[in-house]
Amino acid sequence: MKFTRILGTALLAVGLAAGPAVADSSPSASPSSSDDSKAPTEAGTSFRTAAEMDQGVDATAGASTGDYLYWSFAADAGQRPTVKATVDLPDKHTAQTWQIDVYDGLRRRQACQYGAQTRAAAEGATSVELTCVLRTVRAWSEQWSDDPLPGTYYIRLTVVDLADSDLGLPVSAKVHVDSKDVGGSAAVDGSLAKPLVPGIAVTSASGDDDSADEDSSTKGAVLSAIEPDDGWSSGWWSDRWVWTGIGGVLAALAGIGGYALTRGHGRPYRVPPGA
């Protein structure tokens, strides 16, 4: 009875410890709750001018058919980003094919795990929707690998097939990014020294708008100001540590239980003298 009470108390403690880990690993969007969340109303035309956006918000832009539209967002280790784009097409147009591409901070094109990355819009269609679910962002990988790493990610939206008569027609686009927190199942033993956040502009250190005559030594690269709401993770902590601890506790309890069940009861058997 005493061992049963000990075992029940230990299992209850294990369940309480596992509860937060299970909750943390559940699918969740990552909207920004701050008032200054970035939901741009226009897009950039290149990597260097990509409009910065937060996860969980809708970025919109008006453009002409044939333009390249760029946005950027931050993704941290353990996240599996899902990029969705909706393009509202003009009233009259021929068949078109739109495509969404995602690049990491090193401008390496990232493959979509699943989703309609390229989709054709039939003649007269009012809109077209695209989706790209990336692989889970890793805290560290080999140099030869193209695994997604923490840092800035770029979204490029454009039409890849259209008739000349449709070139320049007005369209409007909406982009949304959410992430699923995968947790310890994707954890690795290692982390980057710095996230892949490249420089996106050059500005004057003095802040003077008229910088044509300033010495180039007073200028410096400005890093992207976009980052996760809770900052970049260190890469070493994950709920894998919690489950490892739970496994150790269960192994210890199994050892104690096995000893309690197999040890002898009463006085040990002795061989009589002279036998």
How far is residue 183 CA from its own chain's centroid?
11
pLDDT tens digit sequence for 113-155: 999 999 999 998 999 999 999 999 988 777 778 888 899 999 9
What are the residue boundaries of the structural domains of the chain, listed by start?
28-232
How many other CB atoms sit within 10 Å of the CB of residue 270? Answer: 6
Tokens of 111: 């493959």
Round to whole Å and give the CA distance between 171 and 53: 20
The CATH number of 28-232 is 2.60.120.380
| Cβ atoms of 212 and 218 closer than 8 Å | no
How many other CB atoms sit within 10 Å of the CB of residue 138? Answer: 20
pLDDT band at 214 (very low <50, low <70, confident <90, very high): very low
| Cβ atoms of 58 and 39 closer than 8 Å | yes
Q: What values do phi and psi take at 53, rounded to 5?
A: -140, 150
pLDDT tens digit sequence for 59-79: 999 999 999 999 999 998 889
Whether the predicted pLDDT of 215 surpasses 90: no
Give the pLDDT of residue 220. Answer: 40
How many other CB atoms sit within 10 Å of the CB of residue 232? Answer: 17
Q: Where is mean pLDDT largest: 16-20, 89-93, 255-259? A: 89-93
Nearest residue to 73 via CA among 100, 56, 55, 58: 55
Whether the predicted pLDDT of 249 surpasses 80: yes
Q: What values do phi and psi take at 177, rounded to 5?
A: -125, 125
Round to whole Å and give the CA distance between 70 and 64: 14
Nearest residue to 205 via CA among 186, 221, 225, 219: 219
Give the chain's radius of gyration (CA, Å): 28
Nearest residue to 96 via CA among 67, 69, 68, 125: 125
Round to whole Å and give the CA distance between 158 and 174: 12
pLDDT tens digit sequence for 85-117: 999 999 899 999 999 999 998 899 999 999 999
- Which comes out higher in pLDDT, residue 98 or 210? 98
Give the pLDDT of residue 142. Answer: 76
